Amino acid sequence: MTWINWNQVLAPFNKGGLNVGSLNAFNLALLLKWKWRFLIDDKALWVKVIKSIHGDGVGHAAPRLVNRGVWSSICSSWHFLHDQNIISNHVFQKKIGDGSNTKLWKDMWLGDCSLTSKFNVLFALEIDSDCKIADRFFDGAWHWNWSRPLTSCCHLASLEELNAMVSSFSLSENADSRLWSMSKEGIYRVKDGRRIIDDHCLPSIDHQTRWVSTLPRKVDIFVWRVDLDKLPSRLNLSKKGLEIPRINCSTCGFCVESTNHALFECQLLVKYGRGFNFGLM
């Protein structure tokens, strides 16, 4: 007979569970680490192979891939986390240093989207669509390179908006890098990803689990079940639909045998210091 929902057991202490953790969340957190490794180790051979198959932007905005395979399956886990509003694609932020390793138009380095999607009219006039930030920003100013002069009001308005966005931008001597925005260190760890996924997916009750590490584990679990009123008292067995002769306390014979009565309220148990036994018929 099941007394407690398994997802409640998996939930962390702060959500009223036993902090077991979900294997599904662990698996998704491990798959998410592949994206982190893809972004921070872009010079690795396996990254170059993935890009040659699926394109350069495969690890940035996590596009839905047409080609099937292992990498496509990994990307589908990112889409699931994003579609469920658990972990956004933008948590792996770009930290700009010298601008030599960040594509100006295609990488997400300014805000929550790429300049390609925000200024597609200007991108269509860019001579080098794969240009880096350092190619357009040097000597403390932006130097745009269009295929033809900008004359239309639409182009000029977009350029004015773009210049306003990048007006306070500056470079440093450090190399470009990636940051996991949901931690102070800026480094992605599987345990952090698993915690975030569990916090979002697992159920929560009104109060936290009181866990005392100095006590035996079975004692902590028993107290947890008492707190949730999930012990096989006669009242709870009756609520489960089990046919029992009576629900009165087997010790005093007068009151209903609930969890509170059997543990704390039965006067005979208190008087004689007798133990209790749930479910006696």
Half-sphere exposure of residue 179: CA atoms within 13 angstroms, side-chain side: 14
Helix (H, G, I), strand (E, B) or coil at 19: coil
Distance CA 91, CA 106 (A): 17
pLDDT digits (tens, 9 = 90+) for 224-275: 888 888 888 888 888 888 888 888 877 777 788 888 888 877 776 655 555 5
- In this prediction, residues 108-125 reach a mean pLDDT of 85
- Give residue 214's region: left, alpha or beta (phi > 0; psi -120 to 50): alpha
pLDDT greater than 50 at residue 279 = no
Q: In this structure, are 153 and 166 located in the same domain?
A: yes
Q: In this structure, are 69 and 188 located in the same domain?
A: yes
Structural domain of residue 140, as residue ranges? 97-175
pLDDT digits (tens, 9 = 90+) for 152-192: 899 999 999 999 998 888 888 888 888 888 888 889 999 99
Q: In this structure, are 88 and 122 located in the same domain?
A: no
Residue type, 35: K
Stronger pLDDT, 147 or 242, i.e. the higher one: 147
Question: Which of 160, 175, 190 delimits the end of a domain?
Answer: 175
Asked if residue 134 lies in contact with residue 98, where contact means CB atoms within 8 angstroms, the answer is yes
- In this prediction, residues 2-20 reach a mean pLDDT of 87
In terms of Cα–Cα distance, which of 249, 276, 280 is closest to 263? 276
Q: In this structure, are 70 and 194 located in the same domain?
A: yes
What percent of the chain shows pLDDT beyond 70?
90
- Spell out the residues 6+ positions from residue 74 whose beta carbon is closer than 8 angstroms to its own: 31, 34, 35
Q: In this structure, are 71 and 171 located in the same domain?
A: no
- Spell out the residues 6+ positions from residue 75 whose beta carbon is closer than 8 angstroms to its own: 58, 62, 63, 64, 65
Average pLDDT over the chain, rounded to an integer:
83
pLDDT greater than 50 at residue 215 = yes
Stronger pLDDT, 203 or 57, i.e. the higher one: 203
Domain count, the chain: 3
Lowest model confidence (mean pLDDT) among 38-52, 61-75, 94-108, 222-236: 61-75
Lowest model confidence (mean pLDDT) among 42-56, 144-158, 209-223: 42-56
What percent of the chain shows pLDDT beyond 90?
20
Q: At what angle do helices 70-83 and 45-54 cross, to 10 degrees?
A: 80
- In this prediction, residues 189-212 reach a mean pLDDT of 87
Distance CA 254, CA 246 (A): 11
pLDDT of 58: 64
For 199, counting Cβ atoms within 10 Å of its Cβ (0-12 exposed, 13-18 middle, 19+ buried), the class is middle
Q: Is residue 12 domain-resident? A: no
Residue type, 38: F
- In this prediction, residues 76-104 reach a mean pLDDT of 85
- In this prediction, residues 105-118 reach a mean pLDDT of 82
pTM higher than 0.85: no
Distance CA 111, CA 117 (A): 12
Q: Which two tokens mark 219?
A: 């004692």
